[in-house]
Structure 1
Amino acid sequence: MTLPRIAVDAMGGDEGVQVMIDGAALARRRHDRFNFLLVGDQPRIEAALVAHPNLRAASEILHAEDVVSGEEKPTQALRRAKTTSMGLAIEAVKRGDAGAAVSAGNTGALMAMAKMALRTMPGIDRPALAALLPTLGDNDLVMLDLGANTDCDARNLVQFAIMGAAYSRIVTGLESPRVRLLNIGTEEMKGTGALREAAAELKAADKSLALSFDGFTEADKISRGDVDVVVTDGFSGNIALKAVEGAARFVADLLKRSFASSLRSKVGFLISRPATELLKHHLDPNNHNGAVFLGLNGVVVKSHGSANAAGVANAVAVTARLLEENLTERITADLAKVGAEVIRKPARARAAAAAEAGQ
């Protein structure tokens, strides 16, 4: 089955056009049903395509005169949405010329442009950035929000949980993903009022949704494998994500230094190489590349700016799977199950209304 075209912002990312084209070509070799709209400077894209005739045959080029820089403020980028490769890739999704968009460019600008062009789904107040993280369990972990919203209320967190569970079912195949809220402790009285309200909402709605709400989790336990979806605000989520990535780099660098410290260590490395290669693969962010903006009327995927060709290919594969599994329709169905009353009115407000009605 041929999927809708994927619009690729060929100019985004730290490494530029060549890596984005190499990544799209790798994805195309792995899955010949992928077709692309490559957006950016046409002469540079055509030059990069010379080495990839298979991708060239499955692609159309949309010329863009301008590029969003990594330092550009979202408000500045929005003014140039009609001329930049990022803005035109998202606009292609809005027009129906592509089914989804992938960019490795400025995250804030991508979020702003996507929200402005595609708008949020009915029943969703704010889109959230979700990504997959490795765990010790059988499946990767979905974590959101990772930076799109620094300040969230209980209603936002409940909506994030519903969207995250829908995404988890697609990427893990689980019928009822285990969902937890990130907190400073697992006891019910811990955390902010918004966290406690969101927990009450999710407990009340648990039986109506295809998820299993298990209360709170702490940051040091998110990779143990006993939870499938971790929900938090974008401020805490971004800090937690970077702490996990930093710890992974620390472990990798420490092992590298240890194995190079002596002849005995070098011999030990040769003996343990299969295990260290497995560890390297597990910790490599390119193997989990592709964060998704959930809650929009369209699929937009953010590739890490420093991703290599394999990482870009993984981001494209994530995008294609979300199209194939109808992510937006799944989220819409879950929102309908829980009902607008649960996701739009905080627990405190409902409790106050109930108390008033009982007087």
Structure 2
Amino acid sequence: MSDVNAAASGPAPFCLAVDAMGGDHAPDIVLAGLELAADRHPGTRVLLLGDEALLRSQLPRYPRAASMCEIRHAPSAISMEMKPTAALRLRDSSLRMAIDAVATGEAGGVVSAGNSGAMLALAKIVIKTLPGISRPAMAAVNPSARGDVVMLDLGANIACDSRNLVEFAVMGEAFAKAVLGLPSPRIGLLNVGVEELKGDERLREAAEMLRDSALSEQFHGFVEGHDITAGTTDVVVTDGFTGNIALKTGEGALKLASLLLRRVFRTNFLTKLGYLLVRPGLERMREWIDPRRYNGAVFVGLNGIVVKSHGGADAESFAAAIDVAMDAVTHGINEKIRTRLDQISAFSANGEEERATASSMAI
């Protein structure tokens, strides 16, 4: 491990900048997560931002993490309670310096388990949004009966118009291609019913725009809440208010199911015996729906990769967030978004030209 006191040297930028001081259990969990991630991503270069003295004292306990990390001292840290306006003024914080590294191109992406409001505010101002994107959205992967499903927005935008929802669909498709490896993800708009007349005007307008876009062949139409876990589509698009409630409800349902199963198998001797018989299958199910596997929400639509880990993440959870960030960086999620936006713009322009030609011929 070598010192880094200014800009990192070397032929290539860092893959990731990691905020070592963000989260409820930093920096221990951050370092432990990087230790796990090092095996999955050999050769990765990570810029680690935080209290240099503290990190140097703890990093030797994590030799694989030490081999991939270079430390840069950050004099301050943003607390979980700090308001975004105050965080914006704290230019020497570990989170701000990590985001600065992405904005300058020194790192391909940033990962933090810190204050989500501050993270989004800093990213929007420092990294800025991609051309053609009006608002970034929070996207994450969730389990379903048919495999993983991408959901967005999960809380970054409480109120959205039809244009925002179409942009979320574009970003969700790119996310599913980059992170899930799907060549042609199916897209659904979350609604109170699947019929075309269901929902409010913005949903119906967004659906019409998607049917008339370059995404038309992948657009499934409206989906309902149960379609998320059924895996009816690969991407579920909604506003941040509804998406956050759906996400938290799903997480709560998984915890409730786990609790009820434990109660059932502890009822008496026969149920305990039954547990021993089905334990291998239950262990596989637990691994499949383990929320730690799905940690790491991406603020898509920004001019750089920004990944938010749960504040209370453990080592396995934080390593999963690193995995998500690496997938987004190495598979070029932003390039996929730019390409799709260009295709939609060209598709729309061609449609307008055809309609204008048809109108003139009619006259």
- Give the TM-score taking structure 1 as reference length: 0.91
2:6 paired residue number:
none
For 1:75, the aligned partner's letter is T
What's the CA shift for 1:219?
0.9
Cα 1:263–1:47 change in 2 (3 A) is: farther
2:172 paired residue number:
164
1:29 paired residue number:
39
Counterpart contact for 1:3–1:324, Cα < 8 Å: no
Counterpart contact for 1:209–1:337, Cα < 8 Å: no
Counterpart contact for 1:176–1:211, Cα < 8 Å: no
1:326 paired residue number:
332
Cα 1:294–1:342 change in 2 (3 A) is: farther
Deviates more, 1:254-263 or 1:82-91: 254-263
Q: 1:85 is matched with which residue: 66, 72, 94?
A: 94
1:273 paired residue number:
279
What's the CA shift for 1:198?
0.2
Counterpart contact for 1:145–1:160, Cα < 8 Å: yes
User: Structure 2 CA distance, aligned partners of 1:248 and 1:160?
Assistant: 26
User: Structure 1 CA distance, aligned partners of 2:292 and 2:302?
Assistant: 25
What's the CA shift for 1:238?
0.4
Q: Deviations over 1:251-307 (max 9, x none)?
A: 111111221222222111111111111221122111111110100100010111122
User: Structure 1 CA distance, aligned partners of 2:346 and 2:89?
Assistant: 34
Counting only pairs closer than 5 Å after superposition, residues 175-214 of structure 1 correspond to structure 2 as 175-205=183-213, 208-209=214-215, 212-214=218-220
Q: Secondary structure at the match of 2:58?
A: helix
Determine if the alignment matches structure 1 residue 338 to structure 2 residue 344.
Answer: yes
Counting only pairs closer than 5 Å after superposition, residues 283-322 of structure 1 correspond to structure 2 as 283-322=289-328
What's the CA shift for 1:50?
1.1
Deviates more, 1:273-282 or 1:110-119: 273-282
What's the CA shift for 1:58?
2.0
What's the CA shift for 1:159?
0.4
User: Structure 2 CA distance, aligned partners of 1:267 and 1:170?
Assistant: 44
Counterpart contact for 1:34–1:320, Cα < 8 Å: no
Cα 1:232–1:340 change in 2 (3 A) is: farther
Percentage of pairs with the same residue = 47
Q: Deviations over 1:22-78 (max 9, x none)?
A: 101110122212111111111221222111223213211111122212222222211
1:107 paired residue number:
116
Q: Secondary structure at the match of 1:176?
A: coil
The aligned length equals 345
What's the CA shift for 1:210?
8.5
Q: Secondary structure at the match of 2:49?
A: strand
Determine if the alignment matches structure 1 residue 262 to structure 2 residue 262.
Answer: no
Counterpart contact for 2:102–2:304, Cα < 8 Å: yes
For 1:154, the aligned partner's letter is S
Structure 1: which 4+ aligned runs deviate by more than 6 Å?
Answer: none
Deviates more, 1:285-294 or 1:255-264: 255-264
What's the CA shift for 1:216?
0.6
What's the CA shift for 1:3?
7.6
Counterpart contact for 2:14–2:47, Cα < 8 Å: no
1:15 paired residue number:
25
Q: Secondary structure at the match of 2:179?
A: helix
- Give the TM-score taking structure 2 as reference length: 0.90
Counterpart contact for 1:3–1:320, Cα < 8 Å: no
Deviates more, 1:287-296 or 1:29-38: 29-38
For 1:79, the aligned partner's letter is R
1:116 paired residue number:
125
Q: Which runs of 5+ in 2 are unaligned?
A: 1-11
Deviates more, 1:225-234 or 1:276-285: 276-285
1:226 paired residue number:
232
Cα 1:121–1:317 change in 2 (3 A) is: same
For 2:123, the aligned partner's letter is A
Q: Secondary structure at the match of 1:339?
A: helix
Q: Secondary structure at the match of 1:316?
A: helix
For 2:87, the aligned partner's letter is A
For 1:327, the aligned partner's letter is I
2:251 paired residue number:
245
Counterpart contact for 1:5–1:34, Cα < 8 Å: yes
Determine if the alignment matches structure 1 residue 130 to structure 2 residue 152.
Answer: no
2:8 paired residue number:
none
Counterpart contact for 1:175–1:210, Cα < 8 Å: no
Q: Which runs of 5+ in 1 are unaligned?
A: none
Counterpart contact for 2:84–2:117, Cα < 8 Å: yes
For 1:101, the aligned partner's letter is V
User: Structure 1 CA distance, aligned partners of 2:13 and 2:61?
Assistant: 24
